[in-house]
Amino acid sequence: MFLRSFFSRAALLVALTSLAACSSSKKDDPAAAPTREMSWTADGATLKTTTLQSQKFSNTLSVSGTVPGSATFLSLEFPNAVGTYTFGPNSSATAAYTASSGGTVGVYFAGATGSGTVTGAGTIVVTALSATEVTGTFTFTGINPNTGASKSVSNGKFSVGL
């Protein structure tokens, strides 16, 4: 009788321990994880990617994303701080957009060229920055250095892990 009571209590303890181990906290809930993505509008189409990359340099951050299944790529570089960064000859803010149309790949750049001039125009706004994530908005007009053609990118948003 004593052994049966002992095993019953042990089984109950194991069952309760198993339930406690299987329970989740909000921290473990995937729904509570931040949404990491980059989106923008170009040529009237809204594009979005969760295929993201980031790189942290001493004074700047670089974030980029590729739209899955396409040759569309967008890259931003900006100072490693919250703020508004307008492309200019003394600014480290730059943007590049690569898109394929009709079998032709076009590259459009906005920012300082390194020779004291600026191509294109635009702004990157870093709204939040932590040790693990950067978020913000962007808009720019990039110029293709080979053809002089321009590409307008608007309504840009990013939330990228670092």
C-alpha span between 136 and 94 (Å, rounded): 14
As given in the structure block, the two tokens for residue 48 are 């979005």
Confidence label for 74 from pLDDT (cuts 50, 70 and 90):
very high
Q: Which residues of 111-148 are buried (b: 16+ CB within 10 A; e: fewer)?
A: bbeeeeebbbbbbbbbeebeeeebbbebbbbbbbeeee
Q: Which pLDDT tens digit goes with each residue over 46-73?
A: 999 989 999 999 899 999 999 988 889 9
In contact, 100 and 70? CB cutoff 8 Å: yes
Sign, CA dihedral 40-153-113-89, equals negative
| Mean of all residue pLDDT scores within the chain | 81
> SS3 helix, strand, coil % of the chain, rounded to 5?
15, 50, 30
Report the percent of the chain where pLDDT is more than 90.
Answer: 60
C-alpha span between 102 and 41 (Å, rounded): 19
Work out the widest C-alpha separation in the chain, in whole angstroms: 91
| Residue 134: CA count within 13 A, CB half-sphere | 24
pLDDT of residue 103: 79
Assess whether pLDDT exceeds 80 at residue 33: no
Confidence label for 153 from pLDDT (cuts 50, 70 and 90):
very high
The pLDDT of 150-158, averaged and rounded, is 96
Q: Which residue has the tokens 């295929």?
A: 51
The pLDDT of 131-158, averaged and rounded, is 95
Q: Which residue has the higher pLDDT, 7 or 28?
A: 28
Assess whether pLDDT exceeds 80 at residue 106: yes
Assess whether pLDDT exceeds 90 at residue 135: yes
